[in-house]
Amino acid sequence: MRTLFPALGAAVLAGALALPILASAQTAATPVVPAGSPLMAPPSMPGPAAPRGPMMMGGQPHPGPWAGPWMARRGHAAFAWNNTWGLFHRPADLGLSAADVQTIAEAILLRNGEHDWKVGDVTANADHTVSFAFLTAHGDVIARFTMDTETGRISRTD
């Protein structure tokens, strides 16, 4: 009896000291994301679901993470921030000239780290497009493109 109470007291004390340590170890493993953080999903977006894969939804292909009411409400405009940075208003007609198209094509080469290629054969067309070609340092044609002067859309022609 004399040794039972001290042993029981030591066990209770050890348990009382161990519980906060174990509780903090469990909560430390869970990441804390502050409210309003860009890491949080929008409130209307569904949370994590069952494992995703082609046959996880009753034998039907899964539509992917961008399907559902969140994307239906916002459409593809949800990705428009990637092109505007919040600084520019993109007009409906860009009004690009042949010199503008050449500058954009040269910027594409620089952005992709291609310092040896050149832009050549820049020609304005009657259908509101400008044709250009990427050339090697020796003047050989690598590929030909057209750019729409209103939208800035690039299409490969060769």
Using pLDDT thresholds of 50, 70 and 90, give the confidence band for residue 152: very high
* Entry pTM: 0.48
The pLDDT of residue 106 is above 60 = yes
Query: Average of pLDDT values for 113-123?
Result: 95
Report H helices in the chain.
4-29, 69-74, 81-84, 98-111
- CB atoms < 10 A from the CB of 115, how many? 9
The pLDDT of residue 111 is above 60 = yes
Residues 76-95 have pLDDT tens digits of 555 555 555 667 788 889 99
